[in-house]
Amino acid sequence: MNENKSKVADWLEKADHDLGSAKLIYLHIPNYFDTIAFHCQQATEKYLKAILLFMEIEFDRTHNLIFLLELLSQKIEITSDLYDKAILLNGFSVQIRYPDHKVYLTVEELETSIKISQEFGDFALKTIDLKE
């Protein structure tokens, strides 16, 4: 595996760890709304950055999922559905980590966040071919 593919695999692994953390926390301490939502956003961000790296699209340090999708749209079609899903997670990146920004999500919202992050993971795996 060349160096770029190795880095892409590392980003995918970190994204999987964030998504796995969100799922485990949801199962065991579902009232940690902020932490679950944060990990869903982080996983999605890392999945998108893995695709960008794979496609050799340079990106700045950002947590903005919409910006990352815009960069990807230079090389692949991004559906409005993906944008809509990214918008739902976009607010869970930075402010949510601090005590002055409390978030209370319903069970349905948490499950939706996890599902969306998983969909971005599936999208990344469909888009990235590390076998070549």
Non-local (6+) Cβ contacts of 33 within 8 A are: 103, 104, 105, 110
> Which residue range forms the structural domain that includes residue 15?
3-127
Asked whether residue 86 is assigned to any structural domain, the reply reads: yes
Q: What is the mean pLDDT of residues 5-16?
A: 96
Q: Is residue 18 scored above 50 in pLDDT?
A: yes
**Residue 121: CB atoms within 10 Å:** 20
Asked whether residue 60 is assigned to any structural domain, the reply reads: yes
CATH of the domain at 10: 1.20.120.330
Q: Is residue 32 scored above 50 in pLDDT?
A: yes
> Confidence class of residue 2 from pLDDT cuts 50, 70 and 90?
low
Q: Is residue 19 scored above 50 in pLDDT?
A: yes
pLDDT 10s digits, 57-76: 999 899 999 999 999 999 99
Q: Is residue 1 scored above 50 in pLDDT?
A: no
Asked whether residue 132 is assigned to any structural domain, the reply reads: no
- How many domains does the structure of the chain reveal? 1
